[in-house]
Amino acid sequence: MARRMSRPDPVEPFHAIALSRLARQLEAEGRHIIHMEFGQPSTGAPAAAIARAQDVLASDPGSYWESEPLKARIAQLYADRHGVTVAPERIILTCGASPALVLALSSAFRAGDAIAMARPGYVAYRNNVRALGMQPVEVACGPESRFQITAEQLAALDPAPAGVIIASPANPTGTIIPPAEMAAIAQVCAARGIRIISDEIYHGLSFTGPVPSALEFAPDALVVNSFSKYFSMVGWRLGWLVAPDDLIGAARARMGNLFLTAPTLSQHAGLVAMDCVDELEGHIARYAANRQLMLDALPAMGLTQIAPPDGAFYIWANVAHLTDDAMQLAERLLRDTGVATAPGFDFDPVAGHHFLRFSFAVDTPLVKEAIARMTPWFQQQGTAAR
């Protein structure tokens, strides 16, 4: 009998999960851990959304269903926020942003296609592209471009990639692509036949003003978004894809076969959440306060080289003066202080061993406590490194 040959798995592990596993173990041992390793709000869904979900639980058994009112309300969001007309039939409700990314990639591209992306960038971009048999083209981006891929870099790629993934605000850096640069990226992509996938999951979380959507400049872009971040509904697993007209059928076919529908309960709650503006904007005010606390504290820790955290809820900090192994540094920080962070290697497999990512989405008192714990620890590391 012929033996089936195994092949290397192209999907790498998410190293922050290993740190989080250690953090949970330490908690089980009685340690007080402050979780700054994951990008998730510490708040829950808006109160009115929870109330609506409770009503639905008592009256609706649930079914394979796609909410037309929710799709219409999301379409209205693009009109109100970006001045863009999006037909509701272009919106495909998904089980979070991660399936929306899979739909976008698999609908627009084929195995072997090259997909460009910024490095550093969200770990799932690279790994999903590889898992689908495509080729990630990671473009090194540093402080000179605010850690974002630029139109000039896309114009210089030879040969031109089939697609590009952009994110603004970005994970892990929190940086935002300015409107003029977004327009330039769209122009280069149109000229070179590069399809844009825009991850807009952090839209609504900006500390420097409005954030443009790729749809303002590239109507044929595929846009990924979710209720997890701004709407504070991580565990509800509800997101969406805005598909261009020529890919609606392909995206819907993949959604139906791979995932069926988004959760019924989440769709009911999500529709209500979209109108809970006052409560949601209160979260933004808290993130802004947390951001400022971190920015004020970082110099005393010796962490002076950071990406501009324009949006989202992250600090991307260079720790090259302390280590060549950010994973090991993050583990020591966790064991010594009880503060869990994300090692940069997940987001940048080349230079990420010199970076840590801190999430400031936790409650403000916990941010203050984390600063109190980390400041003397980093000062001690800096003294030892000299």
User: What pLDDT score was predicted for residue 8?
Assistant: 55
What is the average per-residue pLDDT within 120-142?
96
Residue 236 · residue 264 · CB < 8 Å: no
pLDDT class for 4, splitting at 50, 70, 90? low
User: What pLDDT score was predicted for residue 61?
Assistant: 83
What are the residue ranges of CATH 3.40.640.10 in the chain? 15-39+278-385, 64-275
SS3 12: coil
Task: Please classify residue 323 by burial: count the beta carbons closer than 10 Å to its beta carbon, then call 0-12 exposed, 13-18 middle and 19+ buried.
Answer: middle
Alpha helices in 227-276 (DSSP H): 248-258, 264-273
Q: Is the pLDDT confidence value at 216 over 80?
A: yes
CB burial readout 12-47, b (16+ within 10 A) else e: eeebbebbbebbeebeeeeeebbbbbbbbbebebbe
Tokens 């109160």 correspond to 47
pLDDT class for 281, splitting at 50, 70, 90? very high
Q: Report how far residue 375's alpha carbon sits from residue 298's, in angstroms, rounded to the nearest whole number.
A: 8
Q: Is the pLDDT confidence value at 1 over 50?
A: no
Q: Report how far residue 263's alpha carbon sits from residue 276's, in angstroms, rounded to the nearest whole number.
A: 20
SS3 386: coil
Tell me what the pLDDT averaged over the chain comes to: 94
Q: Is the pLDDT confidence value at 12 over 80?
A: no
CATH topology for 64-275 is Aspartate Aminotransferase; domain 2 (3.40.640)
Question: pLDDT tens digits, residue range 25-45?
Answer: 999 999 999 999 988 898 899
Q: Report how far residue 354's alpha carbon sits from residue 96's, in angstroms, rounded to the nearest whole number.
A: 31
Q: Report how far residue 188's alpha carbon sits from residue 192's, in angstroms, rounded to the nearest whole number.
A: 6
Strand partners, 197: 165, 222
Q: Is the pLDDT confidence value at 379 over 70?
A: yes
User: What pLDDT score was predicted for residue 5?
Assistant: 54
Q: Is the pLDDT confidence value at 105 over 70?
A: yes
Residues 6+ apart with CB under 8 A from 140: 119, 350, 351
User: What pLDDT score was predicted for residue 385?
Assistant: 67
Tokens of 255: 């959604």
User: What pLDDT score was predicted for residue 62?
Assistant: 79
Whole-prediction pTM: 0.94
Tokens of 271: 């529709």
What is the average per-residue pLDDT within 335-356?
95
Q: Is the pLDDT confidence value at 224 over 70?
A: yes
Neighbouring C-beta atoms of residue 53, cutoff 10 Å: 19
User: What pLDDT score was predicted for residue 6?
Assistant: 55
Helices and strands counted in the chain (H then E): 12, 12
What is the average per-residue pLDDT within 236-250?
97
Its CATH class, for the domain covering 15-39+278-385, is alpha beta
User: What pLDDT score was predicted for residue 14?
Assistant: 77
Question: pLDDT tens digits, residue range 156-195?
Answer: 999 999 999 999 999 999 999 999 999 999 999 999 999 9
User: What pLDDT score was predicted for residue 146?
Assistant: 95
Q: Report how far residue 198's alpha carbon sits from residue 239's, in angstroms, rounded to the nearest whole number.
A: 14
Nearest to 242 by CA among 92, 95, 108, 109: 92
> Percent of the chain at pLDDT above 70?
97
What is the average per-residue pLDDT within 310-314?
96
Q: Is the pLDDT confidence value at 13 over 60?
A: yes
Residue 202 · residue 311 · CB < 8 Å: yes
What is the average per-residue pLDDT within 333-358?
96
Q: Is the pLDDT confidence value at 328 over 70?
A: yes
